[in-house]
Structure 1
């Protein structure tokens, strides 16, 4: 019996090592299941998400706790054996070659840090553990955003300020703000502010959110379904594409991760995809409902 227990322990350790040696810290993590209202072991929740096509992990960009929770979820999902990819709000799709080189091990950390600093305003150190885990475990990373200067311009001056050349470089975006979506954004804008989204009006803030949500949904769906990023390129449409062979885990701000935001855009592009949403736990804030998310991240 002792020999059998020892063998089981060794096999378990080998499996965790195959996932980067970081599995032990997910064993005691829990997530709040909003449908049942109970704390659920993260590993159990991950097993229930093996059929998910897209898992959104919302964050407060400057929160070390949120990024630790995101990493715990990624590790737990990887431990199920389901292939993963990690999509990033922080990196535009135009810098995809840098991400590919990073995961392949041919781009050093200093170079990746410089690319990250150019594309994103938060410290590299907050995201480094996730980047290193993906590199060490050969998990593809995908840039989902538009170039930061485009998002900043829309937030400050509005969608109409884009030149024809700038607009032509975007995926198909109809900057029409649904009244329900606008009400949602107003609630979030008033509750959380709009740090990092420019200094323009609320209308311009809404337009920037629409551009970001739509573009990130577009590039994420194209990656999952194998449809070229260029909408004018020949090939399969999203509706004709087979079921994805992996789960895309999207790291993004909590305003983008809320169900009425990017998940709704993904659903509009590809209704058959199975989605799940995690949001951060906010002390003193009302608990989100299942209209907002499915789970709250580990503390």
Structure 2
């Protein structure tokens, strides 16, 4: 179903693997897919009516997201509205909000706080950091349809305490935010998290890598378990279907939160809906359903990048930002950053972190039409601005 009618289309034509015989519907040509379109793992388009029928027998619907991808949030808002309009959503659970902010959400649910003020009341920048504007459409749809919001995550101070000293390092007053037990990951998720850890360990200062990896796995399990436990508690009170917004890493392959939901609420149906970026064939095992949104990233430096196969392109530049002052223009195709081929957004992320560490500007070569242009972005101290 087309959930977003006006979102600009940047699409790469990729043919999905042939669909198994006997399917009742025909796979749609992936070059014809629009941002927000929902589809089955085999490529069959999914209508609003078909989605609602899938959800009727489901206790938990998890919507994976890229936190900085505005299209993902627009899809979340549209799915929420479509399901709520037929009475299928009892609550909306949020990875983004820690449990100690539930009193603020309670005031929002009661109509005492409006959408425009919710970010300020939550201290959104401190608790989450990613743009509140991206999530506002979701919260507006929830408010208009009377769907209450619930905080699922642990406060950052608890995560910092566990990171530094394990579970024993959590203050007594904060132990209320720990799950009753931490459910370990599946073997497949352990392998995936190990790969993710190895991608980051080269950026670390000298540490005991083995201890750090064990702590990394503990924190991931803490996040996934507490979010599942809180979701089960909310649904236990309200019944119906609970919609959960979380990063794709907490949803994909039914690891993360779904694995813990199955452990805590064994008989409940769980449906996962994942974004597909159009860069590779659809990985049918990654989700139960998919929606198309191109991979974009809005950087603190002031530009928005979109990922294409083998390169990234600047699609927007905010005025009076570092990117604008450095001379970036929409349409610039990034060829290299710090001398590395900019084949994906991860390369830019690594380059930004290393440049911050070295105290040097971030240097780019971009292709502008047929001309190659060198551009330099100074970086300030603090959190990597390329994130």
With normalisation by structure 2, the TM-score equals 0.58
1:279 matched to 2:274? The reply is: yes
Higher strand residue share: 2
Alpha carbons 1:101, 1:107 under 8 Å: kept: yes
Alpha carbons 2:179, 2:222 under 8 Å: kept: no
Counterpart of 1:288?
Answer: 283
Residue of 54, 62, 68 corresponding to 1:56: 62
1:256 matched to 2:250? The reply is: yes
1:32 matched to 2:27? The reply is: no
Q: Comparing both chains, which one has the higher relative contact order based on Cα–Cα distances under 8 Å and sequence gaps of 6 or more?
A: 1
Alpha carbons 1:50, 1:80 under 8 Å: kept: no
Question: 5+ unaligned residues in a row in structure 2: which ranges?
Answer: 7-33, 202-206, 294-387
2-structure distance, mates of 1:132, 1:267: 30
Residue of 134, 140, 147 corresponding to 2:142: 134
Residue of 142, 145, 149 corresponding to 2:153: 145
Higher helix residue share: 1
- The verdict on how the C-alpha distance between 1:118 and 1:215 changes in structure 2, with shifts beyond 3 A counting, is same
- The verdict on how the C-alpha distance between 1:101 and 1:168 changes in structure 2, with shifts beyond 3 A counting, is closer
Larger radius of gyration: 2
Counterpart of 1:215?
Answer: 226
1-structure distance, mates of 2:166, 2:218: 7
Alpha carbons 2:55, 2:88 under 8 Å: kept: no
Q: How many residues align?
A: 252
Structure 1 residues 1-299: aligned runs within 5 Å = 30-34=37-41, 36-109=42-115, 111-114=117-120, 115=122, 116-155=124-163, 158-159=166-167, 161-163=169-171, 166-167=174-175, 169-174=177-182, 176-187=184-195, 201-226=212-237, 245-258=239-252, 259-285=254-280, 287-290=282-285, 292-299=286-293
2-structure distance, mates of 1:103, 1:165: 26
Question: 5+ unaligned residues in a row in structure 1: which ranges?
Answer: 1-22, 227-243
With normalisation by structure 1, the TM-score equals 0.74
Alpha carbons 2:60, 2:241 under 8 Å: kept: yes
- The verdict on how the C-alpha distance between 1:124 and 1:177 changes in structure 2, with shifts beyond 3 A counting, is same
- The verdict on how the C-alpha distance between 1:52 and 1:176 changes in structure 2, with shifts beyond 3 A counting, is closer
User: Structure 1 residue 123: deviation in Å?
Assistant: 1.3
